[in-house]
Amino acid sequence: DQQVKQNSPSLSVQEGRISILNCDYTNSMFDYFLWYKKYPAEGPTFLISISSIKDKNEDGRFTVFLNKSAKHLSLHIVPSQPGDSAVYFCAAFPGSQGNLIFGKGTKLSVKP
């Protein structure tokens, strides 16, 4: 049973517009959420995170929103740039356990 779901396998956005990547989770014990970015032929790199005690975290063009009641988080990229084209993984951290659980990823394409 998938505990972290990224239901959109791909997303295409025009340069300069907003990219919104969505992630849903099922386990209410998750207390920390992360987004990773992955380019082809490279390992994932950490992008931004949010603790369950917050509902928003911002870092430059990247903002993550957390809606705990809906068990939903989203990553906003504004403005989107062609260099943002990558696969984005949502991940959840259950705190007391050892597993960081990843979603399947969403491939973002930002067109010039």
Partner 1 sequence: EAQVTQNPRYLITVTGKKLTVTCSQNMNHEYMSWYRQDPGLGLRQIYYSMNVEVTDKGDVPEGYKVSRKEKRNFPLILESPSPNQTSLYFCASSLSLAEADTQYFGPGTRLTVL
Preceding omega of 79 cis (within 30 degrees of 0):
yes
Residue among 32, 21, 26 at smallest CA distance from 4: 26
Preceding omega of 94 cis (within 30 degrees of 0):
no
Q: Is 72 in the site for partner 1 (CB under 8 A)?
A: no
Q: How far is the CB of 95 from partner 1 (least distance, A)?
A: 9
Which one of 13, 23, 73, 89 is in contact with partner 1 (CB under 8 A)? 89
Q: Which is nearer to partner 1, 61 or 102 (CB)?
A: 102
**DSSP code of residue 99:** P
Q: Which is nearer to partner 1, 83 or 98 (CB)?
A: 98
Q: Is 74 in the site for partner 1 (CB under 8 A)?
A: no
